[in-house]
Amino acid sequence: MITRRTFVSSTAAALAYATLGRELHAAEPVKIRISSCGVGLKDAKLAGLEGVEIGVGDAAEKLRVAEEKVRENYKKEMQETGLVISSFMMGLLNSYPLASDPRGPAWLEQSIDAAKDLGAKVILVAFFGRGSLGNRGNIKKADVDVVVERLRAAAPRAKDAGVILGIENELTAQQNAEILDRVKSPAVQVYYDVGNLTNNGYDVPAEIRFLKERIAIFHFKDGANYLGDGKVKYPEIGAAIKEIGYNGWIVLETSNPSRDAVADTKKNAAFIKKLFWMA
């Protein structure tokens, strides 16, 4: 039975979503490109994407992506598909932390050089697992101090290469801004994962508005669900992204509920296009 209270509540929610949609639609079309870290270039092409995010490889003195043969293979695939590599992911830093592993600075340099060669504009510098810098209530100050110095040292090379080092972690927008203030380089920004930070209990739309142009790129996910079917508040997040004038990549880091990676990637991409009135 639908009570008056339920009707009023559901109507208010519908009006709120409609208002957000009108705000996005009324403004200038956003210049967003869609990529994925879950499929290769050929599958991304089938799913209607424009690029992919690739991993730099496992821990080694020379990263896999630093191998010329590996990059040549990527170049060949890019030429065949017409797609590009949007970004790199340094996931190895979750197990071999930038704050403590002596190979960290060399890995940053190798990744920057490889990104320049492949035309990727952002490198995800990860801080999870063993590499975590803490969270809202427990920041690892000593680790942050080392990370700031290593990022500061790598920043000129990244700037010269036209590459941004995007730090992704579990810290608040304010804590990330403080790190960026210490590094003092436009070549170091935030890689913002709306799913992770929703799960951490942060007000994601407010954080996006706070960071503004200091966000280099976004990860979109919604747990084990298709985008929009979980607890991530995508209409509000979409409005915030539009409000800050973001023009760049949204990278899918999504699940495959149907176990068909291409079909699920295509479905999630369609959600993003609808969210930003691109379809």
Range with the poorest average pLDDT among 13-22, 29-38, 55-64, 163-172: 13-22
Average pLDDT over residues 124-128: 98
For the chain, the domains span 28-275
Stronger pLDDT, 135 or 12, i.e. the higher one: 135
209 pLDDT above the threshold of 50: yes
Tens digit of each residue's pLDDT (9 = 90 or more) over 33-55: 999 999 999 999 999 999 999 99
Residue 18 — pLDDT band, cuts 50, 70, 90? very low
Give the integer Cα–Cα distance in Å for 154 and 148: 10
CA distances from residue 31 to 169, 213, 224, 229, 266 in whole angstroms, order as listed: 26, 15, 28, 24, 19
Residue 59 — pLDDT band, cuts 50, 70, 90? very high
Tens digit of each residue's pLDDT (9 = 90 or more) over 227-241: 999 999 999 999 999
Average pLDDT over residues 89-99: 98
13 pLDDT above the threshold of 80: no
For residues 12-27, one letter each, b for 16 or more C-beta atoms within 10 angstroms of the residue's C-beta and e for the rest, the string is: eeeeeeeebbeebeee
15 pLDDT above the threshold of 90: no
Which pLDDT value is given to residue 31?
87
Stronger pLDDT, 213 or 22, i.e. the higher one: 213
* Mean pLDDT for the chain overall: 91
Range with the poorest average pLDDT among 13-17, 106-110, 126-130, 170-174: 13-17
Q: In the CATH scheme, what is the homologous superfamily, with its name and number, of domain 28-275?
A: Divalent-metal-dependent TIM barrel enzymes (3.20.20.150)
**DSSP state for residue 140 in the 8-state scheme:** -
Give the integer Cα–Cα distance in Å for 114 and 259: 32
pTM, entire model: 0.89
Average pLDDT over residues 160-178: 98
Which pLDDT value is given to residue 5?
44
Which pLDDT value is given to residue 277?
87
HEC letters along 24-73: HHHCCCCCCEEEECCCCHHHHHHCCCCEEEEECCCCCCCCHHHCHHHHHH
Q: Name 206's Cβ contacts closer than 8 Å, sequence gap at least 6.
A: 173, 240
11 pLDDT above the threshold of 60: no
Which pLDDT value is given to residue 136?
87
Average pLDDT over residues 165-183: 98
26 pLDDT above the threshold of 50: no
29 pLDDT above the threshold of 80: no
